Chain A
Amino acid sequence: MSGAGGPSHFARIVPIMPVSSPVPDPRGRFGPFGGRYIPETLVRALDQLAEQYAAANRDPSFRAELEELYRNYVGRPSPLYHARRLSRKVGGAQIYLKREDLNHTGSHKINNTLGQALLTMRMGKRRVIAETGAGQHGVATATACAHFGLECVVYMGEEDIRRQRPNVFSMRLLGAEVRPVGSGSRTLRDAINEAMRDWMSSVETTHYCLGSVMGPHPFPVMVRDFQSVIGREAREQCLDQLGRLPDLIVACVGGGSNAGGIFFPFIDDKQVALLGVEAGGRSTRPGDHAAPLNFGRPGILHGSYSYVMQDDDGQTCPVHSISAGLDYPGVGPEHSYWKEIGRASYATASDDEVLEAFDVLARTEGIIAALESSHAVAKAIDEAARRPADQIVLVNLSGRGDKDAAEIARLRGVEF
């Protein structure tokens, strides 16, 4: 449909796998970032995963099967929506939303889990483990496993289980086992530690379905590729519907998968500015936010070299975010690379700004966004306000907010 100007939902699904990119190198380095800092026990499995992924990339039947699932199971392509009332209220640039919240399971996470589940089938493994923060990746993994008939175990911090109850219930409905993690901060970071420990013992029969563009090679590149369907669709939709590319793309960044997915296909479009939004939390003081690209420094965590919140002894610092999905002290290595080369910039949105953006979007557009995605909405509103009306700000609305209703009610002291 390219160039035909048809409505977005008739746009063909743009091929899943990306064009060639100079990064990462064969050892998973994005400039200095990335690599593989993991126990020797996991090296062979990661080598096999990298080989299988490369083979799948070359196999048209793998691509065809994934595209078919994206279309008929996920509901892709996700719409590109002009938020007219929001844009008018802001009184600046036109705000467009890439509606990943409308995907099956309610977020972008399914793009990645279906790809990894298909790979799991190719590798002949029958068991899948995953970590989850907000529960979106857990639900998406449980869903993909139910679809393929794979055994699924999801590790989730006890604090996150408390604040994201609906997703915990959904995972169990889907046949997954949810294992609470009570160590450390009892959030996403500890869930990743536990999933890695499980994998240390089960690596020969189990695939670890990592949910973001982080961790040891090949996860950052593989997850980016699966998620880059978002950016490829958005790029084509912009050209079809608007006749041009956006001026700015805004996405929230925890590990960075939805941002990586929408940014990557625009990397060579230098006229398109890219803005990642980290969790600004309560304040800029250490421990009050989860914004390593803004306040951290390069270090090692969870298998890769990237920006991280770390003390002078290399110990991971406590972090905070209102949103469980962004409550993480590290970030994917490609974001560190984009920051370093100046291709993307990274800001923060505070908990209060996020709650305000959440309300504004609900009331002007009738869309209840996830708290994670509301970080992007908050900064998009700021950016649009200072731009002229003929500019286009594209927001990746990565997930829907039903899961957050109870937590927001609690924060506001409302009986739910």
Chain B
Amino acid sequence: MSSIDRLFERLRAQRRKALMPFVTAGDPDLDFTEQLIGRLANRGATMFEVGLPYSDPIADGPVIQASYTRALDRGVRLDDILATLGRLAPRIETPLVTMGSYAIIHRYGPAAFVAEAKAAGVAGAIVPDLPVEESDELAAICRREDFSLIQLITPTTPPDRARRIAEKTTGFIYYVSVTGITGERNKLPPALVDQVAWLREQTPLPICIGFGISRPEHVRALAPVADGLIVGSAIVRRVAQAGERPRNEVLSEIEQYVGELLAEVN
């Protein structure tokens, strides 16, 4: 049982929902990432998705893409990211999962990646460009290491395939709210609630919804059908817009924003 499984067990017993901020590692630097995750954890964020910057992210919209470019331009390396997470993890009780291209994991070596990430206190990985057919090798390593491999299901996934993906997933299912890329949206598709309700009947796994979620009203509308919600671009955008403002001010602003969303799930 991974720390993610224990988290959702506890949340379900308390009838609470997870709120998972997405933070790009190394944007604008790893110091900031460490402080941001620390402060949001204290504020009550339930779990973190840590974005591993990648040069060619095809599932990401302009906001997250630009954050990856900023981090890579400053020379962030995977080993440095894992070292930072390794310092953070013991200080917070909140599980951390990475979100990163299989290009990165493949180059590092899947077994080495899982071993190093686990040693750093990371509980699982989301690999957005590794569909279930290609995931056998990584999935076997993750099972052996009790490291969650969170798979994605989208509105374009046919029902049979969704069930197959659910069978291969550990930790939770990442349900992608829209047919599209990451990024804030004013409105989410009306069919979303029904799609998640259907999926819930197919699997006992927790279901978290991501892509497009940015507003308290989104959280309010989706919290009843999901086990958790993921917020990315809205946080990354606030980092991008920080400019030369004092870091403390930017951290407080993001903390306040996440606090508003947390109020909707608790």
Contact = CB atoms under 8 A, between A and B. Distances in A.
Contact of B180 (A27, A44, A201): A201
Contacts of A313: 77-78, 104, 107-108
A15 interface: no
Contacts of A302: 56, 58
A35 B130 CA distance: 10
Interface in B151-209: 151-158, 161, 165, 176, 178-181
B46 interface: no
A53 B51 CA distance: 36
Contact of B106 (A40, A201, A204, A300): A300
By secondary structure, the B interface counts as: loop
Contact of B154 (A40, A196, A300): A40
A200 interface: yes
Contact of A316 (B56, B130, B165, B180): B56
A69 interface: no
B134 A39 contact: no
Contacts of A38: 58, 129, 131
A62 interface: no
Interface size, B (range)? 35 or more
Contact of A39 (B72, B106, B152): B152
A189 B56 contact: yes
A312 interface: yes
Interface residues of A, number: 34
Given A27-B133, A36-B133, A40-B131, A200 B104 contact: no
Interface string B100-139: 0111111110000000000000000000111101100000
B107 A310 contact: yes
A16 interface: no
Interface string B76-117: 011000000000000000000000011111111000000000
Interface of A: 27, 35-45, 183-184, 189, 193, 196-197, 200-201, 203-204, 299-303, 305, 310, 312-316
Given A37-B129, A305-B106, 5 more contacts: A37-B134, A38-B58, A41-B155, A183-B65, A184-B56
7 contacts: A40-B176, A43-B156, A184-B69, A200-B58, A204-B156, A300-B129, A316-B56
